[in-house]
Structure 1
Amino acid sequence: MTQDLYPVDDILADVEALMHDSIRGSESLLSAATEACLYHLKTGGKRNRARLAIHCGQALNLTKSSQVAAAAVAELLHNASLIHDDLQDHDDTRRGNETVWKKYGADVALCAGDIMISASYAALLHADCRGLLPQCVTLIHRSVCKSIQGQCHDLSYTRYESYTLLDYEKMAEGKSGPLLSLPVELVYQMSGHQSQIEQVREAVYKFAVAYQITDDINDVDQDLRRGETGAAAPNAVIVLRDNGHGEKSDSVASLRVFTLLDEVKRDISTLPGQLSEIFNTYILGLRASLSEDKA
């Protein structure tokens, strides 16, 4: 039976409410860590993971409650990773505001990220698929573990060690792919398309790498300055320069983005849930951010 379609903005409002309720739990008074979580959510964000869950969920006739639950799970885990990432990278600002660790201290930031991870499991309970909760929990745990593995790879990076573009892509895939793929994986699990989750995962991981390389092209000067202070982080353009591509590194990186995006379009073209149409908006956005004449 086809579910009623609700405006995306209305569902996003429900997602925000569920995230807040899951973070608060049964507390009548906010702890410093809970307050820090709510502060972080108020700083904004595009909620792209929530939008993926909603658009895909509507295309696959998922109930509104399940759409909201999948979206909230993905956003809570993503924002937990941002809080911890800012702490580990010692970044002072995010979205034009003080980062959680800068405003509340490192110890509170660590606890705030942990609360968000725990809250994601509480949010999952609002899905209308109780019989599939074990499988959904398995997907969540896998995504968290893979993203932590990618983060550890990122933190262990030293520019002056041998580091190839392949090494970089494995790191970017592990760090960004799992939590970007999770909302779609959860929707596919909840809607009875479990057999195609692996195909979804492979395609979205490629998109995540393309997205990260695009960010690196735009941030190369900033990352070079950070490297001078000892706070080096993997950047695709810098990795290519270190591997002998010199002034052509930007062009090589751009070409790699276009190749990955073409592969994503091919890989998702046969998947249900209008995934090709949904991702085409994001693909066009990345292409637009890179001038074709760089290639």
Structure 2
Amino acid sequence: MATVEDTGNIRSGTEILDSARELVLPALRTTVDRLPRAARTVATYHLGWCDEHGNPTDGRSGKTLRSALTLLAAEAMGGSADSAVPAAVAVELVHNFSLLHDDVIDGDETRRHRRTAWTVFGTGEAILAGDALLAAADDVLVSSEHPEAAAATRGLNQTVHTLIQGQSTDMDFERRHDVTLAECESMAAAKTGALLGRACALGAFFGGGTSTRIDRLRAFGEYLGLAFQHVDDLLGIWGDPHTTGKPVYSDLRARKKTLPVLAALNTTGPVTEQLRALYYREHPLSPRELARVAELVELAGGKQFSTDEADRLLSLALAELAVADTEPRSASELTELARMSTRRDR
């Protein structure tokens, strides 16, 4: 993989992601190939490497944003991207563990423009494949030969505990009509911000950063993760299905308590009352009602809130990066990647 130093130029966000994928994918494939056969079959389908019959495809395993952050964080500390490959692979494995489980829990039937793994192979097989990926993440770090591999593994496992707590809280929200915006933000920080923060921290760790610089990179990732979630929640309502890979109004159809929805539901007035009456009704919403809910969320200020919050959190992330004492070119590329990942047209 060509590094920034090789080219002398700042790469675009797309180039950064493609370059990270090129470096991480072979090691990720090697790790997945070692899984037990049943888990391997589900995982390779979920990652987009084969169809439901096991035939190879040209699909990609997501955007590999977390891998790219890990590699750039290592370079930002003066280390090499190659040295951080084990950390990047481990982060990707944990991310996909969480996706496999979340799809089952949420009942989502589509991801990355095709059927989710549990709808193809069954809930049990999807859960077990996720478990296998999680175990493989620990194995990758422990086998990395880094002198502090045990500490890196403990840190990643702490993040997994945070992810699990976030998912548990999200499930609890489904049974409640009194969820506050602050609770939703805390849940989003646990489910999304924590892993992006860990991705950056692990990269900085493998890149030889001091504890202070690692903490700055982790804060950068955590702020970025929450900004990313605000944008993702906006796309879950108003995003183009051809871009998101999910049906129109998918989050509203599932009555998910996302950040813009909670911001709208926690206001007062006749618009909010109309929204609450529709959103908390038991029977499914018709296409016309879904469109009306989206309109009410916007009228109640939910869309503007998440738009503003995404911008504010991105600014906080970049402020942490600015004081992290990073290599200038790597910092520029982290900034480019952060801006691209929080665009509302991604």
- TM-score of the superposition, structure 1-length normalised? 0.85
What displacement does 1:264 show?
A: 1.5
Distance 2:182 2:188 in 1: 10
**Any idea what the Cα deviations from partners look like across 1:163-220, whole Å, max 9, x if unmatched?**
2221111000000112212221112222142233333323322221111111222223
Distance 2:317 2:142 in 1: 32
Secondary structure of residue in 1 paired with 2:173: coil
Distance 1:163 1:202 in 2: 26
Say whether 1:223 aligns with 2:223: no
- TM-score of the superposition, structure 2-length normalised? 0.73
Say whether 1:118 aligns with 2:142: no
Please, what is the CA RMSD of the aligned residues?
Answer: 2.5
Whether the 8 Å CA contact 1:69–1:127 is kept in 2: the answer is: yes
From 193, 205, 219, give the equivalent of 1:202: 219
Runs of 4+ in structure 1 deviating by more than 4 angstroms, as ranges, are 3-11
From 164, 179, 191, give the equivalent of 1:163: 179
The 1:270–1:112 alpha-carbon spacing in structure 2 relative to 1, beyond 3 Å, is same
One-letter amino acid of the structure 2 residue matched with residue 37 of structure 1: A
What displacement does 1:286 show?
A: 5.4
One-letter amino acid of the structure 2 residue matched with residue 32 of structure 1: A
Aligned to 1:293: none
What displacement does 1:93 show?
A: 1.5
One-letter amino acid of the structure 2 residue matched with residue 225 of structure 1: R
Where does structure 2 lack aligned partners over 5 or more consecutive residues? 8-15, 50-58, 238-248, 272-298
The 1:210–1:24 alpha-carbon spacing in structure 2 relative to 1, beyond 3 Å, is same
**Any idea what the Cα deviations from partners look like across 1:218-249, whole Å, max 9, x if unmatched?**
2234322222xxxxx22112112211165122
Whether the 8 Å CA contact 2:192–2:226 is kept in 1: the answer is: yes
Whether the 8 Å CA contact 1:12–1:68 is kept in 2: the answer is: no
From 15, 20, 25, give the equivalent of 1:16: 25
Whether the 8 Å CA contact 1:56–1:278 is kept in 2: the answer is: no
1:32-181 equivalence runs, <5 A: 32-41=38-47, 42=49, 43-44=59-60, 45-125=62-142, 127-129=144-146, 131-158=147-174, 160-181=176-197
Identity rate, percent: 25
Distance 1:55 1:103 in 2: 35
Aligned to 1:184: 200
Q: Which moved more, 1:4-13 or 1:53-62?
A: 4-13
Q: Which has the higher helix share?
A: 1
Aligned residues: 279
The 1:224–1:93 alpha-carbon spacing in structure 2 relative to 1, beyond 3 Å, is closer
Say whether 1:243 aligns with 2:260: no
